[in-house]
A and B are shown apart, each in its own frame.
Chain A
Amino acid sequence: MRAESARHYLDELVNWASARLTGEEVLLAHFSGEDSDFVRFNHATVRQAGTVSQRSISIDLIDGRRHAEGSVSLTGVVDIDHHRVTQLMSDLREQRAVLPDDPYLLYSTASDSSERLVDGQAPLSADAIDAVVSGADGSDLVGIYAAGRSFRGFASSLGQRNWFAAGSFNLDWSLHHHDDKATKNAYAGLAWDPDALATKLAWSRRELDVLGRAPRNLPPGGYRSYLSPAALREIMDMLSWGGFSLRSHRTKQTPLLRMVTEGARLHPSVSISEDIAGGVAPDFQAAGFTRPDSVSLIDGGQFAGHLVSPRSAQEYGVETNGADDHEFPTAIAMAPGLLPTDDVLRELGTGLYIGNLWYLNFSDRSACRTTGMTRFGTFWVEDGEIVAPIEVLRFDDTAFHLLGDRLVGLTDTAETILDPSTYEQRSTESLRLPGALVEEMTFTL
């Protein structure tokens, strides 16, 4: 099964399976696939290189309010895939007979078909390797090049069809001076431009000069800090871990609990939305519901709305807005502020320029208190000038400070970050974030 035929294959497979339904059965199918090249680099040489081609289909087989779900890899051989789907449907019917009614079952019964194509053209991987190795120019480059096409599809026996296909590339790398002193950058998008990559790599190499200076070993304490968009992304990932999920709110597990129980607020300049229209993720989910272009989550520092999956909608009696079951944002965006991006060092004055944070977790989830480490491209700044890299520091602070009473401002431009994550499959998530200047960030180790 070649890439261009995946959509047709899904359509035919679901039509074939739908013809084998019995009684009042309804079939929901969610398709996922990709043809990806992966090249892993260490010391600007290839550590591993290869291609992954994978297709799978998940089926939810429904009879009234009873249902069971299952997924199976697709081989591309019609007879084998028909056999696998037949076996899956038989297993699901057996399981369904044992299960009680599901009071929270909710699926799309509309003919809400759609198509979203994100057209991109990745280079030949051999050319990409050449560009990376030559662009590194002898420096110690480590990273991953991932490129190719991704597919997602929804199809139901009720006739709905939704299709998403994207072609893209994502080169995510760090250049290392010594030990953990490194700078990080990425080049991701839809149209490969060797000159743009060369420019970014040259910028990374220039940053190495600063990383060679003797690092500052700062004692724990409070420091005025600038969080780059990449660093702020780590904070946002933690807020996204239940922060906007209706289920997490109703079960009191949200890290933003104090916003709903005590009226806590973030800074008035903080507005956050799920911006599907501005992202590169599918605009539909596994139960067939489509997503609105935008969902306001935080508006002017106040909690504004939830991400609501179909199950949560049914459980809590509200409308779904097309969130996945885990109710995690897929295209989160924070509105930029007024701080001139070009002046962040001057606005910072003396303090920490934090290029990246790393390995965050909650030290008190109910209070949204979060700990984590500084990582790549983090520098001590004096009077608006970068002085030296630092030895890594651990912070332990709450978002109610960092994006609340201690937030000085957000930059006037926001950066798009295409998620380089490749767990099980290449991510289609993205973020659009400004940088944030914080009056004081608490460091503990």
Chain B
Amino acid sequence: MTDSETRFEERLLAALPADADYASARHVVERGSRLEVRNGVVEPSSTAHDEGVMFSVWTGAGAGYAATSDLSDEGLARAVEQARGWAATTAGRTVIDSPPFLHTVGEYASPVTDSFDSLSLADQVALLVEADAVLGGHARIVDRSASLVRHDIGSLLLTNGGGRVAQEIRQVFPDLRATANEGSNTQNRTYGAGTLAGQGGAEVLARHGFRDAAERIAAEAVALLDAPNCPTGTMDLILAPDQMALQIHESIGHPLELDRILGDERNYAGTSFVTREMFGSYQYGSELLNVTFDPTVPGQMASYGFDDDGTPAERTYLIKDGVLQQPMGGTISQARSGMAGVANSRASSWNRAPIDRMANLNVEPGGSTIDELIAGVEHGVLMETNVSWSIDDSRNKFQFGAELGRVIENGEVKHIVRNPNYRGISATFWRNLSGVADDFTVMAVGNCGKGEPNQVIRVGHASPHCRFSNVEVFGGEQ
């Protein structure tokens, strides 16, 4: 820690009110960069340095926060007084009247084997120019891009009871996109729709073959122009991991967020078909379904040592052998509900208060090979890479679309199809899980929106290929 960082930490500690029932200062500094090459043109590079602090004060059965980018002594003092003011204003009319937090001490840092800084800007430009050129290698490609985004996030949580949690997160988002067109038919292929990202440094690029993916992506975008529409009917469906990520996110992740179950999100992100009584007995899926909340997976997007309330993170089964075990609820939701939870109280940055979020939410691998999953399909479709997502506010009736489908007949993959979609109901869909492969792709979703005021957060998902029976599948307009 530098001298200036030490002095700043001392100033934050000095600003914390010692007489409050609980008080915290959560300082976040996020540095990001973005570089993109589009249609042979290097777009202007962009960098960002976002920094501020949120003070939270609990006193006299009230609670409030104040967040500011003004880090002067006056700015910090003003924020503390504002937070105190909110605590006084809300006293006696909040959903919880005493602070349930720990005063945790700990540190965490993303594992990095090859610093992203080992890639100079010139190296990044050369890499993206080459990838973009490969993406443009087909006559019917009308738009394409290659990009690299990084986020370095440092956070420091200090409490008036001696808590101190320092975390350093390193995230990398590589992406490739190709758009092919003929007449009124436009088709897109991407590098996993942004899911092939994670924590780490330059090694993130190698995890999913970023350097070699452009040719396949462009060729598939063009091939989709000539592919038939996805067939319509009730059939078996195999979802590749980069479609499973979205399926997990929307129809397992969000329904199991405890703040939804407690009603906090009913005006915006929605409620949940899951109720408190279901935990411990509800058959969420077939016995092949095992789901973990696991912020400990090295390199996964939402790995961390502690959530933003300072709760230590650990791997937890949410669904075991298809049976619902426990929700995703942070310290406050646990206190409100009397239920066990996990360390998932997360904020998008210093200017938003923590709420219940997903971190890494993973479907555990099964015992079949991918070939065995396919061999078990008489008539069905394999779908890859999410392109469309829509689900009701109780997280039950859903309809999802993928970039590319592959028809399966009599246990063999045949031709590709365009505009593949499927719809179903969460409460029954997972019970039709008929096969789980033994692969395990570690991925991310970088744009999970929730909360009032609104927050976008980055989460992780990992999954094998999975097979579902009796799914309503269909294509686009002819």
Contact = CB atoms under 8 A, between A and B. Distances in A.
Interface of A: 1, 36, 38, 40, 42-43, 45-56, 60, 67-77, 80, 84, 88, 91-92, 94-95, 98-100, 102-105, 125-126, 129, 133, 140, 142-144, 146, 172-174, 176, 179-180, 182, 184, 251-253, 257-258, 261-262, 358-367, 369, 371-373, 375, 392, 394, 396, 398, 421-424, 426, 444-445
B52 A46 contact: no
* Contact-size category for B: 35 or more
A77 B52 CA distance: 13
Given A102-B41, A363-B421, 15 more contacts: A1-B70, A43-B95, A56-B69, A92-B47, A142-B266, A144-B453, A173-B267, A253-B186, A361-B399, A364-B419, A367-B476, A371-B388, A373-B392, A375-B392, A394-B390
A73 B399 contact: no
Contacts of B125: 98-99
Given A179-B271, A373-B397, A50 B72 contact: no
B183 A261 contact: yes
B388 to A, nearest CB: 5
A67 B42 contact: no
Interface string B28-71: 00000000000001111111111110100000000111111111
B277 interface: no
Interface string B247-273: 000000000000000111011101100
| 3 A-B pairs closest in CB distance | A364-B476, A50-B65, A251-B143
Q: Most chain-A Cβ atoms within 10 A of its Cβ — which of B66, B82, B143, B184?
A: B184
B49 A73 contact: yes
A91 B47 contact: yes
Nearest to A140: B263
B396 to A, nearest CB: 8
Contact of B65 (A48, A68, A94): A48
Contacts of A142: 263-264, 266-267
Nearest to A257: B184
Contacts of A366: 184-186, 476-477
B139 to A, nearest CB: 14
A360 B389 CA distance: 8
B70 A261 contact: no
Given A54-B69, A104-B41, A423-B456, A180 B179 contact: no
A74 B69 contact: yes
Contacts of B393: 180, 358-359, 373, 375, 392
B142 interface: yes
Given A50-B83, A144-B453, A100 B94 contact: no
Given A362-B388, A392-B397, A129 B89 contact: yes
B93 interface: yes
A52 B90 contact: no
B155 interface: no
A47 B401 contact: no
Contacts of A95: 45, 47, 121
Nearest to B87: A49
A99 B67 contact: no
B469 interface: no
A442 to B, nearest CB: 12
A52 B390 contact: no
Interface in B250-300: 262-264, 266-268, 270-271
Contacts of A40: 264, 452-453
Contact of A363 (B50, B79, B388): B388
B264 A42 contact: yes
A133 B95 CA distance: 13
A100 B49 contact: no
Contacts of B184: 257-258, 261-262, 366-367
A261 B64 CA distance: 55
A80 B71 contact: yes
B122 interface: yes
A348 B270 CA distance: 28
A251 B188 CA distance: 11
Contacts of A258: 184
17 contacts: A50-B64, A51-B82, A53-B66, A73-B52, A75-B72, A77-B72, A80-B71, A95-B45, A95-B121, A143-B267, A174-B266, A176-B266, A180-B270, A252-B179, A392-B397, A423-B455, A444-B423
Contact of B452 (A94, A373, A422): A422
A253 B143 contact: yes
Contacts of B75: 53, 75-77
A394 B64 contact: no
Interface string B156-185: 000000000000000000000001010111
B86 A144 contact: no
A59 B358 CA distance: 34
B446 to A, nearest CB: 14
A367 B65 CA distance: 46
Contacts of A363: 388, 399, 401, 419, 421, 476
Contacts of A146: 453
A366 B355 CA distance: 37
Nearest to B351: A52
A182 B45 CA distance: 46
Interface string B466-478: 0000000001110
A289 to B, nearest CB: 16
Nearest to A38: B453
Contacts of A373: 390-393, 397
A246 B390 CA distance: 26
A396 B186 contact: no
B308 to A, nearest CB: 13
A316 B124 CA distance: 27
B316 to A, nearest CB: 25
B353 interface: yes
A394 B392 contact: yes
Contact of A359 (B44, B71, B82, B392): B392
